[in-house]
Amino acid sequence: MQRGLPMQPTVVLLREGTDTSQGKPQLLSNISACLAIAETLSSTLGPRGMDKLIVSERGEAQITNDGATILKLLEIVHPAARTLVDIARAQDAEVGDGTTGVVLFACQLLKEIRSYIEEGVSPHIIMKGFRQASQIALDRIKEIQVSVDKSDPERFRSLLLKCASTSMSSKLIHSEKPFFSNMVVDAVQCLDQDDLDESLIGVKKIAGGGMQDSMLVKAEVFQQPLILCLNVELELKAEKDNAEVRVDAVSDYQAIVDAEWEIIYRKLEAIEKTGAKVVLSKLPIGDLATQWFADRDIFCAGRVGAGDLRRVVQAAGGAIQSTCSDISREHLGTCGSFQERQIGGERYNLFEDCPNTKTCTLVLRGGAEQFIEEVERSLHDAIMVVKRAVKNGEVVAGGGAVEMDLSAHIRKHALTIPGKLQAVHIAFAKALEIIPRQICDNAGLDSTDILNKLRMRHHNGDTWYGVDVDGASGVRDNMAAFVWEPSLVKLNAIASASEAACLILSVDETVRNPQSEQGKAGPKAPPGAAQRALRGRGRGMPRR
């Protein structure tokens, strides 16, 4: 009788209890998770988009329709769906606008090819088709984008106002678009036009008043009061905060106290000798120093935010000093007028008529705190859009016009491709239509009828026809109607969405480590609970 082959021992690579999912079901599950996010975000798109009220664990409520902010506040934990959070944040950081559109387009790409995955089409073929179609779309945008002449300042400013206004169309402040568009364009034009560092635009939020009470504080030219910016603490520290000192006599202790007072007075006298009339410090300024400065008609403020101090230095000149000795004239800044003004229920210090006009501050007013925060987010998006328009100067029509043109262009190109790639290209073209379709749905329009009109228009060569949420026909030439967006918004959105869809399609297995999840989510278990649970599952230490 022939003896059988010996059994191969079972090799366990992963910790017991590790959750592994793989294959086609895992891929379809990831797609479903992404589509759930799209369902949440879809109603916020376009000029008639709705807002979301999101309440945190602490009961803090935020009202917003900004895609990146919503995804951040939702705290999504699904590993594949977090890819969408990343592309929304990247779009927000790079361009500032189009965060909802990029997520919806990525999700629609996955939705269009889900049936192909179910039928067994290789994800690699789909990814190849997506990358090809994405490149065709990017080339088409560069072909049709309109370059704006920057040589005429008035015409160029008009372009920037239209870009800012288009960005605000879907925001809470759409009713005050002309007012805020002018404010945003003025703020961006205050910056150094070479680097356009938007962090030099300060924002102060003051509750009370109406939106029209908001204002832009600009710096202009000339000099008078000298301004000294420090990173020095001007405060007597309590003994408990200092190092331990052992003394044998009261006179020794008094000598230590006198030395400490001598040090701070020496600092104060050195500051007075510089001639500065305004002293700002990132670190605290105590009561002694405040009174000493007040007696000598010097204004001082401690615990000034790093961003505020940086903007003051940028506007007034000088440099932040980390010592009070050897401060020369070139280390001090200047301004034409310095005043303390009551705005709402708080007092603010305004530096006006500064030598450098490379910084400014937006003072935002409004009734509710949540409202003011949403205004700030809306203005940030508009500032980023205007910044990109200044840097690049190329625009395309919004309102779904460019997406419909790309869809028609890719469909036409797909007819020249044989095999499965043709179907993938057509799916990509169909996915692009989600933007105009969702704009119609959110505005209460008949999306099927309007998309048919747009397809006919674009087939006839009307490149810039898009959705018109106000007109009777539902379609119009959005370039002529001044619904403009920087082409960079669309270039970045299509590239990011395509790469995100390819990344999700490339994942065929998820390995979830249970131990790492225990540390992340949920309240901590009481001491000993984990050990008891492990013993209950037969994973504890063996008994002696």
Query: What is the set of active-site residues?
Result: 66, 99-100, 381
Q: What is the DSSP string of 174-221?
A: GGGHHHHHHHHHHHHHHS-TTT--GGGEEEEEEEBS-GGG-EEEE--S
What CA–CA distance (Å, rounded) separates 21 from 373? 41
The type of residue at 467 is V
Q: What share of the chain is helix, strand, coil (3-state, %, to 5)?
A: 50, 15, 35
Round to whole Å and give the CA distance between 101 and 13: 42
d(CA 447, CA 308): 48
Question: Which residues are CB-contacts of 141 (< 8 A; sequence separation ≥ 6)?
Answer: 396, 402, 406, 487, 490, 491, 494
Dihedral sign computed on CA atoms, order 307, 312, 318, 322: negative
One-letter amino acid of 186 = D
Looking up tokens 């002694």, which residue turns up? 288
Beta bridge partners of 241: none
**CA-to-CA distance for 79 and 56, rounded, in angstroms?**
21
d(CA 40, CA 298): 55
User: Tokens representing 343?
Assistant: 């705005």
Find out whether 74 and 89 touch, Cβ atoms under 8 Å.
no
Q: What is the DSSP string of 39-63?
A: HHHGGG-STTPPPEEEE-TT--EEE
Identify the three-state secondary structure at position 456: helix
| Pairing of the two strands 226-230 and 333-334 | antiparallel
Please state, in angstroms and rounded to a whole number, the distance separating the CA atoms of residues 29 and 489: 30
H/E element holding 485?
Answer: strand 484-486
Residues paired with 64 in a beta bridge:
52
Number of Cβ within a 10 Å radius of residue 322: 10
- Which residue in this structure is represented by tokens 């040090």? 263
Of 125, 64, 21, which is closest to residue 380 (Cα–Cα)? 64
**Separation between Cα atoms, residue 227 and residue 94, nearest integer Å:** 35
